[in-house]
Structure 1
């Protein structure tokens, strides 16, 4: 009898833990979905304009208008703050500069016509990078992110600059991304990200979070190229899967994005403390 009661309570306890885990996973997914709202609109717009031609303007121009309206809508309804808009604008400019250089070097192209093109790059492309910043800023706020064992400002800033510059310099010099990835592991090996889900706190190794975000952005890149957001040289004749080696590029881009957002958050926090 005692064994039966013990088994009953054990099953109840295990079942309760499973239900709580499912509930927490649902809340985490919901917060992630809200944080990805900008990205969802981008993918939906790419898909719709790919199969339903819009009148009066080229497709790339319509995408720019849609993304600008979406940005304004999110600001109007408080889904993004003014500080987040500043960060997103910074990423838009950083991404646009990288796009102009990469298109010039033939890494990829935007084959369709548009009035809003600069040096072969449509202005809407900056929103691809801005959407990463939007996700990071919103997820940071919604999940109440805290960083543990965060490296010194004088280590983080040069590392972020080196990663970003390597996207340019590897066309003229050796590609040092492997060395940079090793350096990232060394610098952030002891760093953790703490986040909150439905009142409970969890933690994850920061390097693992980089890898997960980079992998999902690579998946998003395959979706974007499928809907004609841009195309790589091997996709000119027909769409094909983006090479898995691009994961390392997106991983480094995510790291740069995270370092910039984290640094700005810390600088702002110190200003408020002072």
Structure 2
């Protein structure tokens, strides 16, 4: 019930339900991940970290629990050291493809594009969880992101075109899937198809309004903000981000401060003020 309650934007009730579930079974990953994720979505990162600390005290000192705790530290503070250490200790960990994108991100932050390409190519997977637990990005999406970040427009276009084909195939199966439509819009923005990207992103928002589902609705709105960012619509991107940081969601300090997707906004005092507003107090 907490899962549905959360999507309906009833956060105290969701937190109560998940806390009760964890109390009944402290080693149930469904319960403790949903509780910690509820704190993460509200940007209450210390409480997410404490949740995983209690899980480890109960005997669940597994690499994935350590990864999720270190992720909460990173997202709230932009301190990547604990998360890098966890990844280094478990080089083969890739639960649901959730660790490869983080390794790629750290390589991009370090400006080590060869390492980003190596990490991605080394994974046998063809799709990966990135922001949340429910959507899988095609491998070609990350290939495009790496190429775009290093300034290789030819390879970026080839990779994003491949990603586009995969996302279009998904939409044949599920034509009204808002998240897929939102990511397709980001791909089209990367391909320079501005008007098409804006239409697709706005359609995704219509399919998944925050009034119906705050969880997916905000993720779709973040997709629209990224389309604005990649389409040279800086004012609209910043205006939307100013609203998004006041809503529960996965936009956080580390993501805005370090992720290359937001590079076009860097240096704008309004964007830097948004980043600073998320810094740990």
Q: TM over 0.5, yes or no?
A: no
TM-score w.r.t. length of structure 1: 0.35
Counting strand residues as a fraction of each chain, which structure ranks higher? Answer: 1
TM-score w.r.t. length of structure 2: 0.34
Larger Rg: 1
Higher relative contact order (CA 8 A, sep 6+): 1
